[in-house]
Structure 1
Amino acid sequence: MVANYLIGLREGLEAALVVGILVAYVVRSGRRDLLPALWVGVGTAAVVSLAFGALLTFGPRGLTFEAQEAIGGSLSIVAVGLLTWMIFWMARTARNLRANLHHRLDDAIGAGAEAVALMALLAVGREGLETALFLWAGAQATGASTAPLLGAALGLATAVLLGWLVYRGAVRLDLRVFFAWTGLFLVVVAAGVLSYGVHDLQEAGILPGLDRLAFDVSTTIPPSSWYATLLKGVVNFTPATTWLQLVAWWAYVVPTTVFFVRTTWGAPRHPARPVGTPAGLPA
């Protein structure tokens, strides 16, 4: 639940900031007539994201167990790749988010309402599709159905509220710091999703070693206990882990963490420009 809350918060806040920047820029440009087209693009992105999430959830049903595990494991690994790319990309571009969107929106305004709707669809839709895939992978890894959805819903609700407060200028938020620390935690989450994906591929018979356990602490940490549920929800920990899962976890988390820390905190630091100016626009 905690991991899905963080994913919902991080991705939802990014989407909320994108929408806030686009709306504020259109208003400040004196083109309020383009707001309906912009909201059409945002609404379409939301519908497409929900449809994608439903496809991931209900699409594989009816297939054989091995096919479901093969699809689930493959998509989990794809989600880890996208999540890793998103973590590094956002850590580098958070400070320039507004300028990049303004440049793209200027071109769209010159092309007309349809271009504005398409630009909003693409900008918000990317966040929505990523969120749907990440949340689905997180829910599959925890093996629960209600708690991950509740965590994601709370994260998205918090993101919407925080995005609105930022837009109104009531909250000042340093995006670089926010995305740096949440990104560090998500590296651990992604490692757990990768481990789960490897286990799925083992159950599908694609990868070997399903019967070779690195450790089994089920007697010490019963899977049904509250602390096992907490560990699974936060870092996707499983009491019984195969050697291949363990190797994949460490092979991902160590170099990714080192590279992320060097990229994020090793770069020359500039004076922070917090988000939440009186104009309501992120810096």
Structure 2
Amino acid sequence: MFKQLFETGIGVIAIAMLSWILIWMTRQARFLKAEITDSIKNALGEDNRADWGIFSLIFIAVFWEGLETALFIVAKFQEGWTPVLGAIAGLGVAVIIGMLLFKWSIRINLNQFFQVMGVFLLLIVSGLVISVLRHLDAAAIAFSHISSSTDLCGIGKNSCILRPQIWDFSASLADRQFLGILLKTIFGYTQKLYLIQAVGYLLFWTIVGSLYFRSLSQSTQLKPANKFN
């Protein structure tokens, strides 16, 4: 029970922090870009050694991420070839994207790219909502089992506080199969969805999703017209 409550608390903190960061970054993006650009220009204009400092900072950041990736892949060798092949495929996609950006000078609308990534992050966080409610329900079931004086969930019930059940895809798309595991890891997919989980999912999109899209519209209205944005 305590493990489930701990996972519930961590999930709530993660949902709150990721939602706040996403909305804050969306609102501040138009200011941060100008501030960073001006700061770099001023640094390069005042000190001839600033360019080496900026280069060193970028080099260390890329080197550190590359080292973490290498250690991660080496560790995955112990689990078989499937995770390694997935990691190699991801690196290959990253190399192709880098070639498209730098060698062939293909322009990408970064504003639209980050907006799409924001929606993708919202999908991930909304999946956390479903997971948090599932952990909370498991904690309630555990408490019901260890408590001799109360029976909150009823005998033989699969859910305690999430009932009734809306769908059951365990036969067609189980969350222990490859596609189900992928959807569960990224979007919080569950083969059995209950009413309270659906309500929590919709409430998240109603509150946090509306704030995010409102921030996007405000950023677009206040941003000066620029054909390269």
TM-score (norm 2): 0.56
Residues 68 and 152 (structure 1), Cα distance of their counterparts in 2 relative to 1, 3 Å cut: farther
Aligned residue for 1:81? 16
1:177 and 2:112 equivalent?
yes
What's the C-alpha RMSD, in Å, of the aligned pairs? 4.5
Decide which of 198, 201, 208 is 1:246's aligned counterpart.
198
Letter in 1 for 2:23: F
Letter in 2 for 1:241: L
* Structure 2 Cα separation of the partners of residues 93 and 152 of structure 1: 33
1:263 and 2:215 equivalent?
yes
> 1:191: how far off?
0.6
Residues 253 and 203 (structure 1), Cα distance of their counterparts in 2 relative to 1, 3 Å cut: same
Residues 194 and 220 (structure 1), Cα distance of their counterparts in 2 relative to 1, 3 Å cut: same
Decide which of 189, 192, 200 is 1:237's aligned counterpart.
189
> 1:237: how far off?
1.7
* Structure 2 Cα separation of the partners of residues 252 and 152 of structure 1: 32
* Structure 2 Cα separation of the partners of residues 161 and 67 of structure 1: 46
> 1:147: how far off?
8.5
1:217 and 2:168 equivalent?
yes
Contact 2:127 2:186 in 1 (8 A): no
Ranked by relative contact order (alpha carbons within 8 Å, sequence separation 6 or more), the top structure is: 1
Runs of 5+ unmatched residues, structure 1: 1-65, 129-145, 275-283
Runs of 5+ unmatched residues, structure 2: 66-80, 144-151, 154-158
Alignment of 1:29-44 (within 5 A): none
Decide which of 191, 194, 212 is 2:126's aligned counterpart.
191
Residues 257 and 173 (structure 1), Cα distance of their counterparts in 2 relative to 1, 3 Å cut: same
* Structure 2 Cα separation of the partners of residues 245 and 158 of structure 1: 35
Letter in 2 for 1:253: W
Residues 147 and 191 (structure 1), Cα distance of their counterparts in 2 relative to 1, 3 Å cut: farther
Count of aligned positions: 185
TM-score (norm 1): 0.48
> 1:194: how far off?
1.8
Q: Which stretch of structure 1 is more off in the superposition, 254-263 or 87-96?
A: 87-96
Give the SS at the match of 2:130.
helix
> 1:158: how far off?
4.9
Aligned residue for 2:72? none
* Structure 2 Cα separation of the partners of residues 191 and 104 of structure 1: 36
